[in-house]
Amino acid sequence: MHEVSLAEGVLQLIEDAARQQHFSKVTTVWLEIGQLAGVEGEALRFCFDAVTRGSVAEGAQLEIVATPGSGWCAQCSACVALSESLGACPRCGGYRVRVTGGTEMRVKELEVI
Amino acid sequence: MCTTCGCGEGEARIDGATAHHGREHTHADGTVHSHDHVHLADHAHDHDHEHDHVHADGTTHSQAHAHGAKRMVQIEQDILAKNKAYADQNRLYLAERGIFALNLVSSPGSGKTTLLCRTIAMLAGQAVAVIEGDQQTSRDAERIRATGAPAIQINTGKGCHLDAHMVGHALEQLDLKENSLLMIENVGNLVCPAAFDLGEALKVVILSVTEGEDKPLKYPDMFRAAGLMLLNKTDLLPHLDFDVDAAIGFARRVNPKIRVIRVSATRGEGMDEWLDFLRVGLAQADMTKQETMDGLKRRIAQLEAQLQRPSP
């Protein structure tokens, strides 16, 4: 996945907000990253530290909230929890599963000064 | 630099020129700096600048001050929102002109460029343009231009995928005819392009029979993101142990809705089915254009009628 592109995307959202909301420093950033989004957490932290140097978010604490994966199994006619996007249905073992949640990558909120 | 693929920012080149921005910009205090700019109609970049102001005691800081108090700012936005915004602009630009655009993705060496050259030759009379993506060289764009179709080469430098911003700039340079077919040949890569919407009607994933049947299982995101799979180089099947049914089965397991067409770009098998698919897409794009224009015309008519009504 693109941890550097993602870190840059996070920084862009932060800088846009800094202009609109008039803050000069970010102390904490909360991200929601789905379990099925294919994002490697440690790589994202590394890239976030690197891209935010010299920015309003330099030194900010990064909190990553992992949102669970979910899918709809056509065979079971039920929502099931998914831990990987290629997964078979954990109930029936079939592959007629459509991913319904857990692929999001969002900036939720910031703590700023 | 990206730990996964070494992407660096600001290295993309479009037809040899750096894709940076420039426009002369004068601040209220008289300072001038420049940003180069090439804009699509509704394509805007943020150009806000924070201006430091000076207090009577000589201290300076930015516009609105909040001294030391921590507060929460809600963002609630998708991280790739900017790319999505550029992609949506591209999509609108294409819809208004009835252009059917495809994003071709695959491993390097699957036969994308050869397939494009053959397609252009067989679609004689239909306006086709191509946006080529590679790390380096303009060899693919040159091959396309040799067929008579216009092509723009985007060199991504260290980048491993095209993004909507690059494609937006390429669209400006191409100045496409209405009802054209636009083929975007993405960088050969089965991982990264999946996440980056370019504004296309759909992604076409090209898998060649010299690769493994289990590619769809190993790279599910890409096969899930694609609306059509072209199984290429079928003329080589007699020399291989490739199980066609297994490959199609794996693709459908990952994406039950994916359409599959078997082709040989060099020998011609399946090309008619592929061309029919393109013609249907072009007809649909034309209908969308009419709906867009009709919608606008209707709205104008409504507004004109309102203007002519006597006021109460």
Encoded tokens for B90 = 């591209």
How confident is the model at residue B6, as a pLDDT? 38
Taking only the tens place, the pLDDT of each residue in B91-106 is 999 998 999 999 999 9
- A90 Cα to chain B: minimum distance (Å): 16
- Around B174, how many Cα atoms within 13 Å sit in the side-chain half-sphere? 33
Chain A's closest residue to B49, CA to CA, is A19
Residue B121 host element (H or E)? helix B112-122
**CA separation (Å) from B150 to A61, B103, B128, B145, B177?**
49, 17, 7, 6, 11
How confident is the model at residue B136, as a pLDDT? 78
- Band (pLDDT 50/70/90 cuts) for residue B42 is very low
Residue pair A15/A56 in contact by the 8 Å Cβ criterion = yes
pLDDT at B43 over 80: no
3-state secondary structure of A99: strand
Task: Quote the CA–CA distance of B46 and B130 in Å, as a whole number.
Answer: 29
Task: Quote the CA–CA distance of B84 and B87 in Å, as a whole number.
Answer: 5
Between B198 and B108, the higher pLDDT residue: B198
How confident is the model at residue B28, as a pLDDT? 45
Q: For residue A106, give the nearest of B78, B82, B221 by CB distance.
A: B78
Task: Quote the CA–CA distance of B43 and B165 in Å, as a whole number.
Answer: 10
Q: Is A67 exposed, middle or buried (0-12, 13-18, 19+ CB in 10 A)?
A: middle
Taking only the tens place, the pLDDT of each residue in B223-278 is 999 999 999 999 999 999 999 999 999 999 989 899 999 999 999 999 999 999 99
pLDDT at B2 over 50: no
**Of the listed ranges A76-85, B176-185, B212-221, B279-288, the one predicted with least confidence:** A76-85
Phi, psi of B296 (to 5 degrees): -65, -45
Between B312 and B133, the higher pLDDT residue: B133
- Band (pLDDT 50/70/90 cuts) for residue B18 is low
Q: Is B254 exposed, middle or buried (0-12, 13-18, 19+ CB in 10 A)?
A: buried
**Helix spans in B200-309 (H):** 215-218, 220-225, 244-254, 271-308
The stretches in chain A having pLDDT less than 70 are: 1, 85-86
Query: Is A105 in CB contact (< 8 Å) with chain B?
Result: yes
Task: Quote the CA–CA distance of B66 and A41 in Å, as a whole number.
Answer: 33
How confident is the model at residue A85, as a pLDDT? 62
Question: Which of A5, A12, A56, A95 has the highest number of chain B CBs within 10 A, making it the mutation to test binding with B?
Answer: A5
Query: Is B127 in CB contact (< 8 Å) with chain A?
Result: no
- SS (HEC) of B193-206: HHHCCCCCCEEEEE
How confident is the model at residue B34, as a pLDDT? 40
| Domains along chain A with CATH numbers | 3-68+102-112 (3.30.2320.50)
Q: For residue B76, give the nearest of A40, A95, A106 by CB distance.
A: A106
Q: For residue A47, give the nearest of B2, B68, B69 by CB distance.
A: B2
**Of the listed ranges B36-45, B89-98, B105-114, the one predicted with least confidence:** B36-45
Question: Which of B73, B78, B222 has the highest number of chain A CBs within 10 A, making it the mutation to test binding with A?
Answer: B73
- Band (pLDDT 50/70/90 cuts) for residue B5 is very low
- Interface touch B72/A109, C-beta < 8 Å: yes
Between B293 and B264, the higher pLDDT residue: B264
| Domains along chain B with CATH numbers | 82-287 (3.40.50.300)
Residues contacting A59, CB < 8 A, separation 6+: A52
Residue B91 host element (H or E)? helix B81-96
Pairing state between β A78-82 and A69-73: antiparallel
Q: Which of residues 174-213 of B touch A (CB under 8 A)?
A: 191-192, 195
Q: Which of residues 251-270 of B touch A (CB under 8 A)?
A: 253-254, 256
- Interface touch B50/A19, C-beta < 8 Å: yes
Taking only the tens place, the pLDDT of each residue in B165-183 is 999 999 999 989 999 999 9
pLDDT at B46 over 90: no
Residue pair A86/B254 in contact by the 8 Å Cβ criterion = yes
Chain A's closest residue to B48, CA to CA, is A19
Residues in chain A: 113
pLDDT mean over B4-13: 51
pLDDT at B25 over 50: no
How confident is the model at residue B290, as a pLDDT? 84
How confident is the model at residue B261, as a pLDDT? 97
pTM over 0.80: no
How confident is the model at residue B300, as a pLDDT? 87
- Interface touch B81/A9, C-beta < 8 Å: yes
Task: Quote the CA–CA distance of B218 and B287 in Å, as a whole number.
Answer: 37
- A103 Cα to chain B: minimum distance (Å): 11
- Amino acid occupying residue B6: G
Q: What is chain B's mean pLDDT, rounded?
A: 81
Residues in chain B: 312
**Of the listed ranges B41-50, B52-61, B122-131, B282-291, the one predicted with least confidence:** B41-50
- Interface touch B2/A27, C-beta < 8 Å: no
How confident is the model at residue B8, as a pLDDT? 44
Between B6 and B236, the higher pLDDT residue: B236
Query: Is B4 in CB contact (< 8 Å) with chain A?
Result: yes
Residue B17 C-alpha from the chain's centroid: 19
How confident is the model at residue B11, as a pLDDT? 60
Task: Quote the CA–CA distance of B107 and A24 in Å, as a whole number.
Answer: 44
Residues contacting B166, CB < 8 A, separation 6+: B12, B14, B19, B133, B154, B156
pLDDT at B279 over 60: yes
Q: Which of residues 29-68 of A touch B (CB under 8 A)?
A: 31, 38, 40, 43, 46-47, 50
How confident is the model at residue B312, as a pLDDT? 60
Residue B125 C-alpha from the chain's centroid: 24
Task: Quote the CA–CA distance of B58 and B34 in Å, as a whole number.
Answer: 29
Query: Is B60 in CB contact (< 8 Å) with chain A?
Result: no
Q: For residue B3, give the nearest of A3, A38, A112 by CB distance.
A: A3
Which ipTM was obtained for this model? 0.82
